[in-house]
Structure 1
Amino acid sequence: MTGPDREASARELKAAVTADDVERLARRVLPCAVRDFVAGGSGTETTLAANRRALDRVHLVPRVLRDVSRASTAASLLGSDALLPAAVAPVAYQRLLHPEGELALARAAAAHGVPFTVSTLSSRPVEEIAATGAMTWFQLYWLRDPGERRALVRRAEDAGCAAVLLTVDVPWMARRPRDVRNGFALPPDVTAAHLAPRGPSRAHDASRGGSAVAAHTAQAFAPAVTWRDVAELRSLTRLPLVLKGVLAAEDAARAADLGVDGLVVSNHGGRQLDGAVPAVDALADVVAAAAGRCAVLMDSGVRSGTDVLRALALGADGVLLGRPLLWGLAAGGEAGARHVLGLLARELRDALGLAGCADIAAARRLETVRAP
């Protein structure tokens, strides 16, 4: 069975005034194994918890006596206009959360004027997602088969995607104890729409003491991806190229030297190297190393409009949103995802005005103080 046992009612969604409220609705309706697949992290989940603590330590220094009567959340992301400095993060297998999966979340993104990032492991094909009218980016895992990865890039271009994001922090999927305990596997009707074969794969082979999804990615992903491969990908497409999963300033500088168009400062939401630095703690150093040569986005732990403002004040051009939108999708399909995006938009507009910022450019000039 895919999707939640039942959706939250319109009344319940309306009563949810924060992303955390929506998460509680989603947890109530999702099967335990799917809930753990979304919420869980790797190892002892040290980095998963640290992401949140690190964001809460960032305090903003608001400015006063400024005209914020028309505070605007509009932004430019990778050369495209957006109504928020945010995009939907690439997330695999969204039909686990709702029968419409990626289509519902993409329509919600289109309604709020933010890009939707299609995952290599999407459970709906990129062509169907692009047909929703959403601005689409395509996330690429470096597959073992060179022909297959080249075909995916061409497919993304033909579908009208506006950027390619290469995930660089997953040579293989980290051990995620919640999935191991659950013997997590995909139901038969949820597949990776972009990968052959179309039918059941190792991702569907449930077993005790292991994650079938991890086994499938180990089979499909190339663990030897290097800077040479980044250069190859750069030569394959004229679309803006973004590296997702950069935390070290040295890596950021080298990526900028290679001519990438963007970086996503990310620890994969605490789902890869456990003990990795919180993304927000690495952000300022990456921004300095990029030195304006490419855009810098951030994900991992963003839950509110205030979090978005924190990232902007530390130099980010925008953020990627993951789990909060998945909880919205699970709780109420497209309506649930729209509700979460609406909450974040209102929170960001409120935070901008209260911080004395009339626009995103002003937000990026705010000072911050780190609590001990």
Structure 2
Amino acid sequence: MAEAILIDLFSLQMNSQTNDIQKLLFSTLERIEKRFSASAPFVYIMCCQTPRSERSSEQDSLLKVISSFQILKKGTEVVCKTSTAAALYTIKQKLDEKDLSIIKIILPVQRKALMEVFVDHLFTAVYQFHFEDFGVDCEGNNLQQIAEPQNDIQTLPAHEMELIRSEIQTYLESLPDLKGKLTILKSSLVPGHIFLHGFTTRTGGISYIPTLSSFNLFSSSKRRDPKAVVKENLRRLANAAGFDPETFHSVKVNHASDVWIMGKPQPDSYDGIVTNQKDVTIAAPGADCIPVLFADPVKKACGAAHSGWQGTLLGVAMATVNAMITEYGCDVKDILVVLGPSVGPCCFTLPRESAKEFYNLDPKCVRQFESPTPYIDIRRATR
């Protein structure tokens, strides 16, 4: 059963018949109340906010009618924006604040294919969407009463899909940095005239999900942060750091020790990556886990690895070094290694059985070994 209902009136503009829309909205909201009498869902009415200087008297009248529902109907909120991308993303934020994921969209049937593309770009598999036909066409002409969900398969021409992607990108680019400015940390060990390098922090992106940093660079179907947002964060990083986002390659985390040698067939998953190619950017994610960078200024080869506690025990850092030695003839003494920001020994614990492996590696990697959950220094273990 739907947790939220979105009524899409965005396309109803110049020729809309105010009385017909008002009646249809009332009947739709009453129908919703009857269907969900026990636990009424949140209702969002999405409409177009034309600049005042460009509005007709009909549009002003329609906007007043729509806005009045926010007062008349409890749990109803009107979201008026200048673009579909802006309106839908604003509603997404409201859904995420309430942790809602099952949404019914009631809309003119001609808008369904378009809305599906917007949903595909701005949401993830965490959400479930169901579509239902609204009883008017895009000109506001009354067609029928609310119908059951449509099953007809509709597709948009390629140029229209590109226009949607462009609208989404333009809107996301307009959003301000969250939680502070973009910061790139650099190491004095790595020669900057040979290797462009750095570590991002939590700030400077547009991701607003509380469990993620604003500068989230990892998309997943299990998260609420869509690929479009991650792509925008990457674009901002590329602009600030000076690389081409189209040649950006990040490891495909598996918490193991596999390494991809760029130029060879790419594995399905790997926690290390090495290359000697110019004009490419390689990366590894970090949070609790350690992002590790490797640079050989002699052979002009480099690497990146994701070293979580499992990868640390499996030796992903050494596997990356060995790949550079084997593939590019690097000398181990020439390879510079930098550990990026990660969880410290003050804050990371593991069950005692797992902690034993770190203790066997180096007793100084473990504190309070006799406790059920000893503290682990994965940075020391990696070094």
TM-score (norm 2): 0.22
Greater fraction helix: 1
Greater fraction strand: 2
Q: Which has the higher contact order (CA 8 A, sep 6+)?
A: 1
Q: Which has the larger radius of gyration?
A: 2
